[in-house]
Amino acid sequence: MTKIIGLTGGIGSGKTTVANYFASKGIPVYIADEAAKAIMNDKIVIEEVKAIFPDENVVQNNGFLNRKLIRELVFNNKSKLNLLNRIIHPRVKSDFENWLNKNKKSKFIIKEVAILFETNGQQYCDATILVTAPIETRIKRVLERDKTSRENILQIINNQLPEEEKIKLATYVITNENLNITYKTVDNLIEILKKI
């Protein structure tokens, strides 16, 4: 039976870097956010999402959803977020199950989920990995990567589960400050995960 290893980390922690490194070692990696983006391009999904926001123009001229606007609309609106999640999450779950079936010969796979602990997703994993980094490092990374403000990043961080809580829930923690050390940690972890 293929083991499911959940990989998560707050914004700017470097979880994608870690996910890519696992993939470079030949380990199948499922990126839940990428799957959700693809699902949001489905015509039926576009219609369902449009119905949640009748007063907003959430569909762009190209016919696809304006994900940036939708993120802003649900950011402080729990009920709209729940409605959106009810459309997207079951489809991502089904997509993951199909993907897992295709990778069932692997000893273990990595499932990268930004809000793994926030959605209690760890209950569906055999083990979890939390990627973490000091808050200033995370802010610096996101400022370099995205056209955004420090205030906006802090708002996102404050909306996510506190780091201390995530550390308590994680099976393994990778502190991602020095890339060489991070890669060595992942190499060691791969050997551990082969045995679980």
Beta bridge partners of 148: none
Which class does domain 1-28+107-196 fall in? alpha beta
Three-state DSSP at 149 gives: coil
Q: What residue ranges do the domains of the chain occupy?
A: 1-28+107-196, 33-102
How far is it, in rounded angstroms, from Cα 164 to Cα 145? 25
Predicted pLDDT of residue 155? 87
Q: Is residue 121 a known part of a binding site?
A: no
The reported pLDDT for the residue numbered 116 is 94
CA-based nearest residue to 172, from 89, 101, 119, 108? 108
149 annotated as a binding-site residue:
no
State yes or no: 15 annotated in a binding site.
Answer: yes
Sequential DSSP letters for 88-117: HHHHHHHHHHHHHHHTTTSSEEEEE-TTTT
According to the annotation, is 3 in a ligand binding site? no
63 assigned ligand-binding residue:
no
Q: What is the pLDDT along the chain (196 residues), one digit of tens a residue?
A: 899 999 999 999 999 999 999 999 999 999 999 999 999 999 999 999 999 999 899 999 999 999 989 988 998 888 999 999 999 999 999 999 999 999 999 999 999 999 899 889 999 999 999 999 999 999 999 999 988 899 989 988 888 899 999 999 999 999 999 999 999 999 999 999 999 8
SS3 content of the chain, % helix, strand, coil (to 5): 55, 15, 30
Check the annotation: does 13 bind a ligand. Answer: yes
